[in-house]
Amino acid sequence: MSGPYVIRGSVLLPEAELRWRFSRSGGPGGQHVNTTDSQVELIFDVAATEVLPPVWKERALRELAARGRLVDGRLLVVRASEHRSQWRNRQTAALRMAGLLAEATAPPRAPRRATKVPRGINERRLREKKQRSDVKRGRSGRQGWD
């Protein structure tokens, strides 16, 4: 890999806990892809990692499971085969994994507070609706019900 990939703050994606698998890619490259293992599969055991704080780990496991991203309820697997070179696919997979972990460990958003629609907005909407109705009524042959 080309450098430390930041998950959030000072927490980095630990290279020692990553498992790499390589296989032949079906992407662009002509005959080149028939001879090189350029597809990358990056595997990270979220449940067993010591890098993430316990709160983040629980949140990540819950979020990734809800999205259907976990294998066996603990492994996060990312595949990359967009590029012809294995090295670029490795970078892409690591960046994608760091992004997924950053999203999954993010604190939940504050719940939306319900607010009332201001009276002025409602009045303006009804006034504009009436004006539009008058314009449309003026286009027809008759000029109203009076």
What does the block give as tokens for 18?
A: 């990553």
- Cα 80 to Cα 23, 31, 85, distances in angstroms: 11, 19, 11
The pTM is what? 0.69
The kind and range of the H/E element at 61 are helix 54-66
Query: What tens digit of pLDDT does each residue of 111-138 get?
Result: 999 999 999 999 999 999 999 999 999 8
Bridge partner residues of 19 (DSSP): 43
16-43: b or e for each residue (b if 16 or more CB lie within 10 Å)?
Answer: eebeeeeeebeeeeeeebeeeebbbbbb
Q: Say whether pLDDT at 74 is over 80.
A: yes
3-state SS, residue 60 = helix
**Exposed, middle or buried by CB within 10 Å (0-12, 13-18, 19+), for 8?**
middle
Are 49 and 64 a contacting pair, CB within 8 Å? no
How confident is the model at residue 126, as a pLDDT?
97
Which of 93, 12, 20, 108 is closest to 58 using CA atoms?
A: 108
Of 17-31, 51-65, 70-84, 122-136, the poorest mean pLDDT is in 17-31
First-to-last alpha carbon distance for the chain, in angstroms, is 79
